[in-house]
Amino acid sequence: MLRLGHKYNFATYREEAVSRLQDAFGPDWETVIVNETGDINTDRIYMDEAHSWSDVINLAYDLRLERTLPLVYFNAIAHKYYPAYLFNGTKSEDGTLSKVHPSIRQHLLCSQDLLFLEMRRTCFSWMFDESVEPLLGGVCTGRRSACLTALVTAIGKIFTPKQRINYGLAVWDENFVPGLCKSCSRAAEKSFEEGRDILWGKLPVIFGMKPWDSLKDFDL
Ligand SMILES: [Zn+2]
């Protein structure tokens, strides 16, 4: 129904589709809809029985919702079956198979490496950047070796076998890195939150779009 609304320019349907997408994806990082297992939170976005996740991405793209697309793309890469579903499609409740447009597939595959890199440079920089090594060396009030082991374990969990993208725009959770002493955990939380805000600010540019303040949500 929402797709017909756009195709035949039925204003009410189109407006409904726009408002649902804007509601689900924006205006801030707290509206990420992929949960920590990489599944779509269907409480946050309604899909009828004939439509699935690929249709949501296509619709946001077709409607040219510029302010919505960065977060749609982020969720698309955070999806647990990424990148396989870009090729295999996603199935709706009634078994309808949908695939993202080839141009979106290409765009996501070309953008993913920069997203992976920026996540390491921003919210998780404290895991890798030697300049924040004092996180473990200077501020550590526990056993430094224990904190280091916790850090290495967390790097394995978040970055292998594939990067857990949904953690990039998440609420800080001590379970990201269980086993850190209180001082290290506090320092990690502060660095993570600062980095997350930077990642959010960069999100449109990561996907080859203009910065947030230059984007318009509707251009038909
Ligand atoms: Zn420590």
pLDDT digits (tens, 9 = 90+) for 80-128: 999 999 999 999 999 999 999 999 999 999 999 999 999 999 999 888 7
Distance, CA of 179 to CA of 164 (rounded, Å)? 20
The answer on pLDDT for 34 being more than 60 is yes
Cβ contacts of 34 within 8 Å, gap of 6 or more: 40, 41, 75, 78, 79, 80, 165, 166
pTM: 0.88
- Determine contact, residues 71/23, Cβ cutoff 8 Å: no
Where would I find the H helices in 51-129? 53-62, 69-78, 84-88, 102-121, 125-128
The better pLDDT of the pair 30, 131 is held by: 30
pLDDT at 4: 46
Residue 183 vs residues 57, 127, 135, 212: alpha-carbon distances, Å: 41, 15, 8, 35
Q: Which is more confidently placed, 40 or 204?
A: 204
Type of residue found at 11: A
Residue 146 CA to ligand 1 center (angstroms) comes to: 7
Percentage of residues of the chain with pLDDT beyond 90:
53
Q: How far is CA 24 from CA 135, 170, 181, in A?
A: 36, 16, 36
Tell me which H or E stretch contains 90.
Answer: strand 90-91
For residue 44, the CA-to-ligand 1 centroid distance in Å is 37
Which residue in 62, 108, 110 sits closest to 85, CA to CA? 108
Q: How far, in Å, is the centroid of ligand 1 from the Cα of 145?
A: 8
pLDDT at 148 (0 to 100):
86
Distance between Cα 121 and ligand 1 center (Å): 21
Could you tell me the distance, in angstroms and rounded to a whole number, from the CA of residue 103 to the centre of ligand 1?
Answer: 46
pLDDT score for 56 = 93
Q: What is the pLDDT of residue 53?
A: 94
